[in-house]
Structure 1
Amino acid sequence: MEERKWEDLEFYCLVNVLGRVGMESLLLDVPFVCKSWYKASLDPSCWKHLVFPKDLDSERDFTLLDRFKEKYKIENCSVDAFTKFVVGRSHGNCTGLFLPNGCTEEVAKYVADECPALRTLLLPSDILRCESSIVPTLIGKWEHLENLWLGSSENLVNIITQISLACNEFSGLCVSSATIQEEEASAIVTNLPNIKCLILRGARIYFENLVIILQGCKNLVHLDVRDCLGFDFDDEKVLELASNIKTFKCEGSMLDDYDDGVIDTDDLVYEGYISS
């Protein structure tokens, strides 16, 4: 039997395979193998799930953006321009998107207009920490959104409020570097009463505000409040209220910060996709 070559695969099969190799290979390797692979790499189906590296602009490391500029002999390319170029490859078919640090609100606007089918989205802290953040006004364009990862808790109440109005299938929220006071806890309960997955690892959340969430979100199946400050991980009341949650994680949480060790909460948001 004659041995088949990869380049002879039927187009839809090749697209299916290449859609699993990741952003870096799609940009820097696949297009240079042969014409059929190059053509397949342009299919929007290959760009449905886009997980950007955390950092694209670094003085210490040779980043994906640096390799991209070197490969294509591009002298100047900003983080915003590169991000929009990659997202544009999906032609509106992107359903999962993790944006990199260094993005501006211009990228958020672009994603809102170009990616209406998003189900999972990560917004880094750079976009959220702007005092006049437009993120809450963009939420309504992602009506299919199920999971949202936030790099900070800035504008959290406004964002959650908009989710409750626009995203009927929403089920998972992860917030990095969060400060959860009574206002935020009450907003989660009021606007997301049916939330299934909530990740607040490394947050500052007092006992009474955690209780608000535990008592109000009855459908939680996954709650991660590890390494938090504001309550003790072995508090009997907390453990009792969380006893009906299938996966409850609170290891390392303490009432006060007795440990000099510092958790890089900015990394927590990049641990992986929420499983709904």
Structure 2
Amino acid sequence: MKAISYSRYGGADVLEYGERPEPRVGPDSVLVEVRAAAVNPVDWKCREGYLDGILEPVFPVIPGWDVSGVVSRPGAAVTEFAAGDEVIGYVREDFLSRGTFAQYVAAPVRTLARKPAALSFAEAAGLPLVGLTAYQVLHRVLRLRAGETVLVHAAAGAVGSMAVQLARHLGARVIGAARESGQEHIRALGGEAVRYGEGPGELGEQVRALAPNGVDAAFDIIGGDLLRATPPLLAPGGRLASIADGGVTELGGSYAFARADAADLAALAALAEHGVLEVGVARTFPLERAAEAFRFNEAGGAGGKVVVTVD
């Protein structure tokens, strides 16, 4: 099969397009014929070795965790899916090797859900990682409830946009922080927009103007100084979570990392099917130009998901 792979850590130039063996399908997995795979920042961070301490590489590595496609062959123990089913998946294992930037991927059923018919394959490929991240932080870490106010950092980005939509669906009030260019997008999703200015102090003034008694919860997607400036914006008993900075635990908050969960993914798919969630696609690239897709994602500011399509 055709695939993108790398045999050493490095920049986008280490990515190679060529033939790789078709993956074997275990009893609890299905072979998915890939139609689209989304690029996420974690993909190039893995490629550059930033996650080497927790994810062992088995070179050559096929990158990618997000996928949409069609079941080609179910494993011997699989009853959940049949050949021809359209699926989405967050196909992450505890090592790096068998990713989604390929014509086929062997996906454990715990990583899959049925694809929402309302989304194209490109849109559907952009849902799993960002959707699971936002869903699990809001539901399981922050335990956000209707009527509460949540501050979302980088609210115009991929994860942030998903968090705004999910929080609004829960019945929460959302204050979304972003650069000037993202303000209109946050408002379109139902959030109240605040702007990153000259520093954390300016942001704090804007948040306090909207929530004088503090916010009930805060979802950090940036880390660093903005994370450290967030605790004073919390109401008494307020909760803080970050997916970007492990130092959040020193501030009394929680660090979160998305995990594959078929039930959570199915819940997200249902919300997308009913029009509650939208996935914006900024640009698509064919598989053989995946290195360009990585570079485009790394440059930032795409304004939507970057997706690789597979013929």
Q: Decide: shared fold, TM above 0.5.
A: no
Which structure has the highest helix share of the two? 1
* Bigger RCO of structures 1 and 2 (CA < 8 A, at least 6 apart): 2
